[in-house]
């Protein structure tokens, strides 16, 4: 990977709707070599997926809840089952296995406290958990999908 590839990836992750012509001009290539580089980066797995980022507020999903989960079961079968359960909840937009006091962290998007309570009741009835702690975000101060790529050196 060279500085041109990094520049292309920076452009793509900031705005995937940028035209091939504009990308090529920005990095100093003609369209065909630029397109080939992008294709190669996709084939190599640097670009996982191209999506549109929707505004959650427009869909009345303005409440972000961070749910910390503890369990006393730490075997692979339980994790597989728990992962399958969590995958059935569209409200869960992020899901992590953690090190530290809590075993799992979920980020849940809902419309209000009542909607979260309904989610919570469905979650605890679908699986066995030792402890569930919910933290409601008061304000989103920073949010990005852009990875901190290495600086392009001249």
Pair (96, 35) in one structural domain: no
Q: Quick one: pLDDT at residue 153?
A: 61
Pair (24, 65) in one structural domain: no
- pLDDT tens sequence across 82-141: 999 999 999 999 999 999 999 999 999 999 999 999 999 999 999 999 999 999 999 999
Strand ranges (E), the chain: 63-70, 92-97, 104-110, 131-136
For 50-63, b/e burial (b = at least 16 CB within 10 A) is eeeeeebeeeebeb
Pair (68, 110) in one structural domain: yes
- pLDDT tens sequence across 41-68: 999 999 999 999 999 999 999 999 999 9
110-to-119, 122, 123, 136, 142 alpha-carbon distances in Å: 9, 14, 14, 11, 19
Q: Quick one: pLDDT at residue 154?
A: 47
| Whole-prediction pTM | 0.89
CATH number at residue 37: 1.10.10.10
Pair (125, 71) in one structural domain: yes
Q: Determine the structural domain holding residue 120 and report its residue range.
A: 56-136
């Amino acid at each position: 990977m060279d500085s041109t590839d990094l520049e292309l990836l920076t452009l793509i992750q900031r705005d995937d709707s940028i035209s091939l012509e504009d990308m090529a001009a920005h990095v100093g290539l003609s369209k065909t070599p630029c397109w080939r580089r992008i294709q190669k980066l996709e084939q190599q797995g640097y670009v996982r997926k191209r999506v549109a980022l929707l505004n959650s507020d427009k869909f009345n999903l303005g409440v972000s809840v961070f749910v910390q989960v503890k369990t006393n079961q730490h075997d692979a079968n339980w994790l597989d089952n728990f992962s399958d359960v969590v995958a059935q909840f569209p409200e869960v937009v992020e899901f992590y296995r953690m090190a530290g006091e809590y075993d799992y962290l979920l980020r849940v998007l809902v419309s209000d406290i009542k909607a979260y309570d309904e989610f919570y009741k469905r979650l605890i009835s679908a699986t066995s958990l030792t402890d569930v702690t919910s933290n409601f975000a008061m304000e989103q101060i920073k949010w990005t999908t852009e990875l901190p790529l290495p600086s392009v050196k001249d």
